[in-house]
Amino acid sequence: MCGISFSLSSSKPTSSTQETCTLLQKRGPDSYKTYTAQKDISAQDGVSPPLSYYLTFTSTVLSLRGDHVYTQPLVDLTTQSVLCWNGEAWKIDGERVQGNDTERVFNLFLQAVDSDQNDSVERMAEAIASLSGPFAFVFYDAIKSRLFYSRDCLGRRSLLQGFDENGNLKICSICDSASMDCFKEVGTEGVCTIDLARYQDPSISPRELCQIETLPWSSAASPPAGHIVCPSFLLPGAATDERPKRKSIPPMNTSLPTEQPPALTTDSVFVEQLESKLRQSLELRIQNVPVPPGYIAGQTAKTAVLFSGGLDCTLLARLSHDILPLDEPIDLLNVAFENPRVAAAAKANQQKSPSSPPPLSIYENCPDRITGRSAHVELQATCPGRTWRFIAIDIPYAETLAHRDQVKRLMRPHNTEMDMSIACALYFASRGQGTAQTDPSAQLPTPDTPSPIYTTSSRVLLSGLGADELFAGYGRHSVAFNRGGFKDLIAEIDLDVSRLGSRNLGRDDRVLSHWGRETRFPFLDEEFVAWVLRAPVWKKCGFGLPETEATAGIDSEKLALRLVALRLGLVKVSREKKRAIQFGARTAKMETGRSRGTDALS
């Protein structure tokens, strides 16, 4: 995980604001470096008077690959080309990358734009298309004076672009401005590129001259307004409708059953394959994680799970047990909030029935805390010998208010009540600071017997995000099936998957990364997504399928994943219902009033 900042100016080098630099260092605490390149255009180029423009690159690094910190930006001494890389190239051309990936990616890009080649744009597009994993980057080809920048096709890493008040182009992992109107998220439709050789008039600002070309992924939608599709992106000798091998999101299987589909069971071929494919995705993300600062073997963790006790995150925790050494603890990060509105209602109910037993604490009564503790018990029972450390992250309302402006700053340009509700939960969960418990049967801490505060040492967080979109986990999927059968269900899933890259992953990345940790999404591995999308819809969920003794009482949403959970001994977890994080952690509607999730923040 890294922080990226880039600026292009025709007057003088332009750095990020001090506030932005501080926030970038929170994302990448292991190194911080700035590099400025100057490009001079002289009278020999037909420009008089001579013109210079300045490219300023800043990178911070959270080192999670290789045996030492690879300081960025990387600068090639021969060509003066520059790379700022924020990502994880798990594979290149289908081959797993061992050790540090940043240098591998840099060398790949340098080879693509080699000075002896005339088709550097096409070769660069092919190089980017060969990467598998989450990424955002800025790369400057100093030989051809061309800038490339992009996010991966699912948008798993944040990258924003905009122009400051002086008309300078800025590209950054977070908003580098007090105004959220200056920055927009870089699209996930393809690779953005700018031909800097156009800068040959000192009276024209970068804002006026920046013509951003979009090199689209093969199945991407139309580029955003203000971008043009680069016709030279077609590969030499290719037909006019051919694109590089990489696709933005592969097409979904839209076939309809011609007869009654068979029931899904725990020993169905698809369910067995699903467990195997998910395990493979997870292995890439949790094996060979470097020792984090303060790590004590057998006592602290390298891996933690954003843990509500729901199906998706508990399944990842359970599979992690099969992959990681038994003596390596796994931390379960469970967040609960003091919600004044809910607390007031509970107090009023208690006053009406004073003889009723005292309720659980405001934190222990949160839905995600209840399911989290239940899932902790089941993990401990099914995986003996493993230390499962349940971290109860309790956030008083006063602390929520104290951090509200910081969360609002990080999530920009997103700015709604719902954004804030979700971002607050992710922000405090990823901080990983609470009271720790390894024995589910032990007495819970009380105000009279508080537990010491524990902060997870893990720099790698696992998230179950993506499972609902792929396996029909939302209530609207049930509505769609009831309305129009498999046809409408397929259309609803297809819509969800197709807009993954343009929704909220950038916002989540900006918030989750603030504490110097990297969140990884096994359900959003490209190969896993492609495999799931190729399967017919009736193998992924239980709508329209006959019920069996094993599936009695189990929801149709994400049925295939529920059956994987059953195969692994997670009986109670397999029956957990979907619940949005803002309701499970109780960050939604903290104040009384009629505000809606779509309302803009003041």
523 and 397 inside one domain? yes
Count of CB atoms situated within 10 Å of the CB of 305: 25
pLDDT tens digit sequence for 234-256: 333 333 344 444 455 778 999 99
pLDDT of residue 305: 98
Cis peptide before 257 (omega within 30 of 0): no
Residues in the chain: 602
pLDDT tens digit sequence for 444-460: 877 777 788 999 999 99
211 and 322 inside one domain? no
Mean pLDDT for the chain?
Answer: 88
Q: Which of 2, 153, 424, 541 is catalytic?
A: 2
417 and 564 inside one domain? yes
Domain boundary among 216, 232, 257: 216
Chain centroid to Cα 153, Å, comes to 12
209 and 279 inside one domain? no
* 2 counts as catalytic: yes
Chain centroid to Cα 281, Å, comes to 15
pLDDT of residue 588: 81
368 and 495 inside one domain? yes
Whether 406 maps to a domain, the answer reads: yes
Burial 561-593 (b: 16+ CB within 10 A, else e): bbbbbbbbebeebbebebebbbebbbbbbbeee
CA 312 → CA 41, 114, 121, 301, distances in Å? 55, 45, 40, 20
158 and 13 inside one domain? yes
pLDDT tens digit sequence for 485-518: 999 999 999 999 988 888 899 999 999 999 999 9
Whether 543 maps to a domain, the answer reads: yes
49 and 193 inside one domain? yes
pLDDT tens digit sequence for 300-343: 999 999 999 999 999 999 999 999 999 999 999 999 999 888 87
Angle (nearest 5°) at CA 421 between 416 and 426: 120
Q: Where are the beta strands (DSSP E) in 173-312?
A: 183-185, 190-195, 213-216, 228-229, 303-306
210 and 303 inside one domain? no
Query: Which range scores top for mean pLDDT: 35-49, 209-223, 406-420?
Result: 406-420
208 and 284 inside one domain? no
pLDDT exceeding 90 applies to what percent of the chain? Answer: 66
Residue by residue, DSSP assigns 547-576 as P-TTTTT--STTHHHHHHHHHTT-TTGGGP
Which H, E and C letters describe 447-462, residue by residue?
Answer: CCCCCCEEECCCCEEE
pLDDT of residue 178: 67
Whether 514 maps to a domain, the answer reads: yes
- Gap between the Cα atoms of 314 and 161, Å rounded: 36
The answer to whether 55 and 40 have CB atoms below 8 angstroms apart is no
348 and 211 inside one domain? no
99 pLDDT above the threshold of 60: yes
pLDDT tens digit sequence for 532-545: 999 999 999 999 99
Whether 602 maps to a domain, the answer reads: no
285 pLDDT above the threshold of 80: yes
HSE value, Cβ hemisphere, 13 Å, CA-based, for 182: 17
pLDDT tens digit sequence for 142-154: 999 999 999 999 9
Over the Cα atoms of the chain, what is R_g? 25
Q: How confident is the model at residue 223 (pLDDT cuts 50, 70, 90)?
A: very low
CA 487 → CA 253, 389, 476, 477, 492, distances in Å? 11, 44, 14, 11, 9
Whether 297 maps to a domain, the answer reads: yes
pLDDT exceeding 70 applies to what percent of the chain? Answer: 87
Whether 104 maps to a domain, the answer reads: yes
The answer to whether 195 and 145 have CB atoms below 8 angstroms apart is yes
pLDDT of residue 46: 56
Whether 248 maps to a domain, the answer reads: no
24 and 159 inside one domain? yes
- Gap between the Cα atoms of 129 and 190, Å rounded: 9
pLDDT of residue 361: 87
CATH number of residue 165's parent domain = 3.60.20.10
pLDDT tens digit sequence for 62-75: 999 988 899 999 99
Structural domain boundaries, residue 11: 2-216
pLDDT of residue 203: 61
Number of domains into which the chain is organized: 2
Whether 559 maps to a domain, the answer reads: yes
CATH number of residue 549's parent domain = 3.40.50.620
23 and 134 inside one domain? yes
